[in-house]
Amino acid sequence: MQAEPKKSQAEQRAVAEPVAEPVSLVGEEYEVEVGPVAHGGHCIARTSEGQVLFVRHTLPGERVVARVTEGEEGARFLRADAVEILDPSKDRIEAPCPFAGPGRCGGCDWQHAKPGAQRRLKGEVVAEQLQRLAGLTPEEAGWDGTVMPAEGDKLPAGQVPSWRTRVQFAVDADGRAGLRRHRSHEIEPIDHCMIAAEGVSELGIERRDWPGMATVEAIAATGSQDRQVILTPRPGARLPIVELDRPVSVMRVGEKDGGVHRVHGRPFVRERADDRTYRVGSGGFWQVHPKAADTLVTAVMQGLLPRKGDMALDLYCGVGLFAGALADRVGDQGAVLGIESGKRAVEDARHNLAAFDRVRIEQGKVESVLPRTGIDEVDLIVLDPPRAGAGRKTVQHLSTLAARRIAYVACDPAALARDLGYFRDGGYRVRTLRVFDLFPMTHHVECVAILEPAAKSS
């Protein structure tokens, strides 16, 4: 029998001396001066020892007591909540929502900031991401630094726009509906969500019990009276009888397959944008703000300026919002190819755009399907990728197609900035950038960047 090799002295010490567990700093409090806003709904501060704090519920320039919510000694950064405001900013207001604040509902990031200040903070984040990840100043991106509110959202301080047409409520063990706390599975029971659209609030989800349910998603379509709830039961639970304050269709998430299945009513809602009706099935993606779809279509079409006869791509096309707008404008001599990975979304897009003979929708991932099409030249491209962005490989491919203009719709400024850098490497420059506050009270924004070949501008 072969003898085991002898352990080194370092290995012997590792066995003899167990590694000490990191010391948690959760609950520790620090009095700090708050620095600039950062991407993610928080501001940056430092402890007296120099450790970075990401602090929520504060504003730049304030002096606060920050209580650590996540992190340990030696970590690159700690997460914290401002639990006492020692020197408030002039932009601070009393949060209108009674469920907002440290340790409470995590749905909103900026309830404590005046509406104009929220938009300025979002603009600062976009500018910082552009500079850090793409090396672009606002001027180089063709952006004046403005974050534009949606129509009807410019309200006085203390008033909250009711904009969210899709709300997923979490349900606690007692069957009470609420919303999750920040970075937590814990649930904050609520009796009303201030940012929920009227069509969601009128269902009364929060005013009834939901025994056995894990989540209840409420959808109020824009441009129709369609209302839908999607129930996710806990394992082994039976569906309750759904009796709400308005007529709704009911869907459920399957325990085994995770798919969304019809219980009763229509398996879709009808949304309206750009003078066209779109079917959106099984809780599929649609812009959450009631003005968002029209706002983004307008921005994209104004940036692209489609011509009759153009060949266009709509990538990550969902149920066909931009493909429909393009098809209307390129006419019978033009053509549009949409690519979407979701099977149900593809079915909806084909239904929604069936009247256009020159529109084709392909199912699959963009990076896989596009090379197989054999397309080597197009006039226009729209891409509206998921939060992670399109990525280097896809952008490199798009940069070879000689598009006259490209419209990039982005819900995450960091992903947008990274991809703009890749487009620059591929020979494209940003012509214009527009930023929209389509998620008031949260840290999220929507951006529309219009790109053109750099050689054209030189």
Q: Which residues of 59-74 are buried (b: 16+ CB within 10 A; e: fewer)?
A: bbbbbbebbbbbbeee
Inter-axis angle of helices 292-304 and 321-330, to 10 degrees? Answer: 40
d(C-alpha 441, C-alpha 52), whole Å: 25
At 260, list the tokens.
């969304």
d(C-alpha 219, C-alpha 201), whole Å: 10
At 420, list the tokens.
């703009």
317 assigned to active site? no
At 44, list the tokens.
């940056």
Is residue 216 a contact partner of residue 227, using CB atoms and an 8 Å limit?
A: no
335-340 vs 446-453, strand pairing mode: unpaired
Which one of the listed residues 97, 105, 411, 447 is annotated catalytic? Answer: 411
Q: Which residues of 80-115 are buried (b: 16+ CB within 10 A; e: fewer)?
A: bbbbebeeebebbeebbbebbbbebbbbbbbbbbbb
Instruction: Give the amino acid at 180.
Output: R
Separation in Å, CA 39 to CA 125, 132, 206, 411: 6, 12, 31, 12
3-class secondary structure, 320: coil
Active site residues: 411
